[in-house]
Amino acid sequence: MIELLVGITIFGLAMVPLLWLGSSTTRGAYSVGKHMMASQLAASFLDSLLGLPYKECCEKIAELKGQGRTGVLQNQDLQTTLQVVNDEGIQSDMETSFRYFQSEFNFDEDEDDRILRLNVEIYYRVVEGDDSVLASVRLSVLKFGDRNG
C-alpha cells in the first residue's frame, strides 16, 4: 500500500513538469499557426498595395494609416475577398480564424525620388482568450514611382 502511495506521489510529481511542458508545447503550436497566418496576411496586404499605381498606393496607404490599428476583418480588401469566396463554411472559418487579428499600416515617402516605404504590422493574440499579450509580424517594402528624367 505504501508502495502504491509512493508510486502515485512520484507519478504525480513527475507529471507536473510534463503537463506544463505539454501545455507550453500546445501554446507554441497555436502561436506558430497564428504567426504564419499573420505573416501571410501582411504579405498579401503588401502585395495588393504594390499592385496599385504609385499615386493610388500613396492615397491608399495614407487612408489605411489614418485608420490606426484595426481588426483585419474590417479591411475592405479582405472583406471583398471573403465575399468573392462565396462559401459560408469557408467564410465562417476565416472569420473565426482572423477575429483577433489586427493590422496597422504606416508609410514614409521620399517625394523627390518618388519612393514610398510601406510598413504593415499584423498583431495576434498569443493566448486565444487573453488580449493582454499580443505578438506581431512586421513587413516593409519600397515602392517606386516614375521619376520622369
Partner 1 sequence: MRSAGGIIPIMMRVLSPKKGNITIILIGLVSVMLIMVLGLSRRMSSHTQLLTLSDYTQLSRYFLESYAGDILQQISLDVNKPGSTLYNAFRAPPSNRALDPRFYKQSGMLSEMAEELNIEIQSPPTISFAGSEEIGYPPGFECPPHLKGNEKRGLLEIVCKAKFYGRMYTLRVQYPFTVVMRMTPVLKDFILFADSIAREHGESKIGPNDNINIMLTRDGKHPPDFDSGIVNHNRMRPGNKYRPMVMLPPLDPVEYASAAVSGKVFLGPSDDSVYLNLAGDTREEELDTVGQAGSGLVSASVGEMFLVSPDTFKVFDSASKYQYMTVFQKPDGSSVRMMGMEVPLKYSQLAKMGILGFSQEIVPQYSESIFSGAAYTVEHFLNSGDNACEFWRTLKDSGTGYGEGFMALASGLKLMGLKPDDINFGHVNRQVFGNVLSRFFVLTFWWPPSGGGVPLKYDETRSPTDFPTTTVSLYDYKFEPLYAHLRFQDFMSRMVSGKNWNPRMSSVDNLPEGFMPFNYDPIKSTKRILTNADFTSGDGFKANDKLENLMRSWFRVTEDGTPQQKGIEARVGKSFASGQEFLEAVGIDNDKFMVNGIVYVAGSLKVPPLKMKNENIGGGIVLVDGPIELDSITRGYNLNTDDFKLGNYGAMLFQGPAFDYYQKWKTEITQENFLTFVSLRGDPITIKGEALIGVHLVNLNARQPSPYGQIVWGPSIRKEIVFCGGIACNYLDLPDRLLEFGQVESSCRHLRAPFFIYHSAMASSQPAYAVQMMENMRGYMLTAERAPGDDD
Site of interaction with partner 1 (CB under 8 A): 3-4, 6-7, 10-11, 14-15, 18, 21-22, 25, 28-29, 32, 35-36, 39, 43, 46, 53-55, 108, 110, 113-115, 117, 137, 139-149
Residue 99 C-beta: closest distance to partner 1, Å: 22
Q: Which of 54, 30, 146 is nearest to 107 (CA)?
A: 54
Which of 56, 87 has the CB closer to partner 1?
Answer: 56
Degrees to nearest 5, angle at CA 143 with 85 and 62: 70
Residue 47 C-beta: closest distance to partner 1, Å: 10
Task: Round to whole Å and give the CA distance between 56 and 59.
Answer: 5
CA distances from 54 to 66, 141, 146 (A): 18, 13, 8
Residue 6 C-beta: closest distance to partner 1, Å: 7
